[in-house]
Structures are given as structure tokens and as C-alpha cells.
Amino acid sequence: MQEKELEQLLGQVASGEMDLAKAKEMLLHLPYEELQFAKIDHHREMRQGVCEVIYGAGKTAKQISQILQHLLAVPGGNLLATRVEKEKAAYVQSQVPQAQYDAVSRLLYVRRKQEEKGLVLVLCAGTADLPVAEEAALTADLLGAKVQRVYDVGVAGIHRLLEQYPLLRQANVLIVVAGMEGALASVVGGLVEKPVIAVPTSVGYGASFDGLAALLAMLNSCSAGITVVNIDNGFGAGFAAANINRFMKEDESC
């Protein structure tokens, strides 16, 4: 529940449009709801602008389903569960029919609102980086950003990236996803004046050390101002990009 929705609820009680018992029922589980195996933070959206996100890895399908059902019981924005395997998603969807699943990003979500503000541009170096790139893109989309994708534009064929230069200049925030040596982030960072969020992936041969080489390269980039998230953390990049995009001045948005 967002602050605006809370104000509307209290206004309905004050005007007599809603009885006190109904309002009490809607507010019963604030600030959090105890499920024994989880404490659902129903105040998260009011504090941070985004509903609590479920980290699916390590949770059972039943746990994910129950948390999602309890989150749905309270009015608010889009709901999201990350790192959900296909078999778990199938069970959750049987219990929560409105839930949608994207197998590439492994995101399970319920879209309750549709917003497309500003522009977050997601670039990835190669097709092998798509799962992380899609996790970032769909997260930013669900959190209210207009998202565009530019995929397979790694530095091995840099002309593919340069062809997209006008689009790069239009974005409020750019997410750059790359494995191997992670060079794409430095190149993009040197071309634009907007925030660049670099995401190293675990894609690469032996000396890439499961993404450590790309992580260190991005942290040591000579392009000033690049922000780097953890290896394969598309969700973190998408969340940060949506937040930055939300607070960009209107005259700076595309």
C-alpha cells in the first residue's frame, strides 16, 4: 500500500464511503504479517515505493505461493518473485492464476499497474547474457520504467553498438550487462552523460572466474561514474535503474 492509497482509504472512511470494519480489515496486517516462516513487510511500498520482492531461490513453491497470496490481499503495486525455477512457477500459477512467468529471466510476477515513465535502456554484450539482461529489463519494467532492449552488441563487433548511439543518448539510465572481460560497460560509459549501471555476468571461459574478471574490470573502469552491481544481479540493476529513472527531472526524460 502506497501513501496515496492510504490517504484515499482514510478519506473514504471520513466521508462514509467505507465503513470502519472494512478499513480495519485492510489495515489489519500493517506493518507486517506473521506467517511463521516469513514476516511479510506490507509497509515496504509506503517506505520505498516498491512492494516487497520475493527471493525465490531457497524457498519452496508452497512458500512462494503463500507469500504472494498474502501480498495480493493488500492493495498496491506490481508483485515480483526472482530466481524461480520453472517447476516452482507452475505450482504457484496453479494457486495464483493471475501470476505470469518469464522462463528466460526466471521472474514470476503479478502486474497490477502499468506505468511507462522515462527510458531505461538495457544493453547486453552477447546472447549468453540474456537471462541476466532480461531479469534487469523486466524488473525495471515492473517498477514503472519504459524499457528498451539492445542485445548482442559486445565489443567484438563494436559497430553494432555505435549504430545505436542516438538511442543511447535518449535514455535516462543505461544498464550494461556483460561477461567475459566486461569491456562493454567502459565503452558505453564513455559515450553518454547519463547514469550507467554495469552488471558483470558469470559468462566466460576459465580465467573469467565465473564473472570475477568482468566484475573487477567494471570496478576498475576508466569511464568515470559507472556503478557496478554484483555478478549476475540483473534484479539489483533493474531496481536501481527504475529508482533513478523515477526521480529524474521531467525535462531530462525522453
Find where cell 548511439 sits: 165
pLDDT per residue over 131-153, tens digit each? 999 999 999 999 999 999 999 99
- Contact (Cβ atoms closer than 8 angstroms) between residue 115 and residue 144: yes
- Contact (Cβ atoms closer than 8 angstroms) between residue 135 and residue 105: yes
- Contact (Cβ atoms closer than 8 angstroms) between residue 84 and residue 112: no
State the pLDDT at residue 101: 97
pLDDT per residue over 12-61, tens digit each? 888 888 888 777 666 665 667 678 888 888 777 777 778 888 999 999 99
Give the alpha-carbon dihedral of 7, 12, 14, 15, to 10 degrees: 140
Spans of all domains in the chain: 3-110, 117-252
Of the pLDDT bands very low, low, confident and very high (cuts 50, 70, 90), residue 91 is very high
Q: Please tell me whether the peptide bond between 31 and the residue prior to it is cis, using omega within 30 degrees of 0.
A: yes
The structural architecture, per CATH, of the domain 117-252 is 3-Layer(aba) Sandwich (3.40)
State the pLDDT at residue 40: 82
